[in-house]
A and B are shown apart, each in its own frame.
Chain A
């Protein structure tokens, strides 16, 4: 057996009330590639960030070469020989490729001046590792902000490799690379493995894990649940470990959906954009369709494309009409509403009254010839009753509401426009349990009232508990369209990892 170069024992980490890690334990062996596998929120990123000193754990120990270590910043971890390639890149856009690769590791002349020439030469050497897989725009003196995503990722990889690490963590390093580039990277990983380095490989692509890894550790809900040798594992066995034996899904509803005699509300045909790679589907009137998958596979982008925020190729028809929204305003006019998941952009005016916030996008409807404040007040009152808003009065400021109630105002202000198609972009991220269940009730009420809802959530349990149909996205495609007997956590997880076995049965409507 190969020797362990780095291991973690029972790492715990909490963010506020949320346990990101309960028991993160992994063993990284030199000369081996360890795949770190888990669904959204399983704690992969948190664990890698603790190892590299970006975050500090609440308890538990990291051992490096059998010594307990505690890195308080990335600098210390790097000095010890632990490097990471991050998915959310650690490049400075306003610096050049060479400056980025050698940042905090500059070649210096004897006088202490930065030796640019030497660094440019060394960068050229490094770029040869990926020669032929990138465009001529990638050269040592190119500014990073001018590079396309795949080339940025290459720079990020080269930066890590240039530091000659003992332990290298690759966190979704292949996400934006094409197959040629991935092969080149795997060649590099093979070389590092032969040199006896310890490698950790995080990926949402099951085929890559089977191609490059020697061993896999599975995390579930912040806990290490098992370790397998890849040579002895199958995609199914790993998916089963990710899902677990005891199902924790609480059904919020026994909503069944019957598509017979229903109109098609939304039909999407082969839309492509920067993040979407040929997405097609149909949604029927009154459907509650979940969109799942690991984070960042194009889910948000899909919703924003439907809302007219992104440029795309392909056709979208809503209520039978082909549309091409240039601006969200046009989407709103067609009774489409998008509720963003990002709290900062939810657009609540905290110090203003609930009434004003409700009507922020709607004043026009009450404006002619004079402001019909009484009608506006009546409608707002009705909405607050429909939402079961707990408040003093319509005139109290939004800041007097609890978090969950404030979120209801966000939704209510769009509901007042009577949307027929509601797009939800991970709306329950970081919301407490009580608020969530009220939110689910609201969605069910809306669907029963005839509203069609597309609901993206990064929480698998939530989707499974609520939606009679879930579309799973992977690498900008809809990997599986699950409903009825196909709708299971195993199929959802398998599809979100791009596993080929069971998830391939695209259900035809």
Chain B
């Protein structure tokens, strides 16, 4: 007790790591953010920072939303490889139907339709995995092709135009200097933290931790699993809406990149692929880290042909990292036991 302040930091760090598995994600967030600032001249002029924040987060918002959904599915012990395709369908629907700012009523209906589609698609994923007991990897991989096939059917070539009025609102609105995209993230994290601290959250972590034990204890496991896919589908629909506002047009494979990014982001954010561990805020950190890395790669003047490779390497390290770390720990543990 000679140094209570230091002790407190140690305990705080341990709690952050053990209870929320947020230690590494937080470090990565800080390091990558600082690195990406290095490549930005004039970063300390207030306008530059604010503009950077706005442009970054409006680009990242769709991916961050599917990452949050993916994190919830992963925590519940599942995996959703179709969230990107669900977003593609949403984007195509909006690009084809929201063409005039004068038809407010119709536009609202179409946005609602996209949300309903997301929920429905997630529900189908959930029923196939949780009720029929099929492997989530296989089910959602298959449904991802169904959904992206649907998108391609509706819009074979990129096109459509979302009215400028709408896209400008998304691009330029900010509150007290905080861009609307960041506010949306904040609201969703807040809503989730409410669920997280009610029965739902407890059940979710129990189901992901050990579904059998949770079932024998009286947790409605099947229903919980279905619900995670529905949430993921819903967030993919939101992603579609903001992606459409970001690009102003439609593309049948617009969500194609989102799927892998969502898994990587969640894992970088401390969510375990085996379920029961991690947090939504961690997943948001992970998503931002991924965005930062992309920015660093592009501003570090890495040859464009190497970008995909570097990107893929980082994703591989992120996904394999926890396993490698465990291997290393076990080795150390064994050595300690022997001596």
Contact = CB atoms under 8 A, between A and B. Distances in A.
Interface of A: 52, 54, 73-75, 78-79, 84, 86, 89-95, 99-100, 103-106, 108, 112-114, 143, 159
Given A90-B213, A92-B205, A94-B205, 11 more contacts: A54-B215, A74-B215, A74-B216, A86-B216, A90-B217, A91-B210, A94-B209, A99-B202, A99-B205, A108-B198, A143-B18
Interface in B55-102: none
Contacts, number: 78
A92 B213 contact: yes
Where chain B touches its partner, the secondary structure class is helix
A92 B276 contact: yes
28 contacts: A54-B215, A73-B218, A84-B216, A89-B213, A90-B216, A92-B210, A93-B210, A94-B205, A94-B209, A94-B277, A95-B206, A95-B209, A99-B202, A99-B205, A103-B217, A103-B219, A104-B203, A104-B214, A104-B217, A104-B218, A106-B199, A106-B202, A108-B199, A112-B198, A113-B194, A114-B197, A114-B198, A143-B18
A236 to B, nearest CB: 36
A105 B215 CA distance: 13
Interface string B210-232: 10111111111000000000000
B136 interface: no
Nearest to B203: A104
* Residue from B203, B216, B219 whose CB has the most chain A CB atoms within 10 Å: B216
Contact of B213 (A73, A79, A91, A112): A91
Interface of B: 18, 194, 197-199, 201-203, 205-206, 208-210, 212-220, 276-277
A175 to B, nearest CB: 17
Contact of B206 (A73, A75, A103, A108): A103
Q: Which 5 pairs show the lowest CB-CB distances between chains A and B?
A: A94-B209, A92-B209, A75-B218, A90-B216, A104-B218
B166 to A, nearest CB: 36
A94 B279 CA distance: 13
A159 B206 CA distance: 15
Contacts of A75: 218-220
B98 to A, nearest CB: 37
Given A92-B209, A94-B209, A95-B206, A73 B215 contact: yes
Nearest to A84: B216
Nearest to B274: A94
A79 B217 CA distance: 11
Contacts of B199: 106, 108, 112, 114
A128 B220 CA distance: 30
B214 A103 contact: yes
Given A92-B206, A95-B206, A74 B218 contact: yes
A104 B224 CA distance: 12
Given A94-B277, A103-B202, A113 B215 contact: no
Given A104-B203, A108-B199, A94 B217 contact: no
A159 B18 contact: no
Contacts of B206: 92, 95, 99, 103-104
A114 B203 CA distance: 11
Nearest to B197: A113
Contacts of B208: 94
Contacts of B276: 92, 94-95
Given A91-B210, A92-B209, A74 B198 contact: no
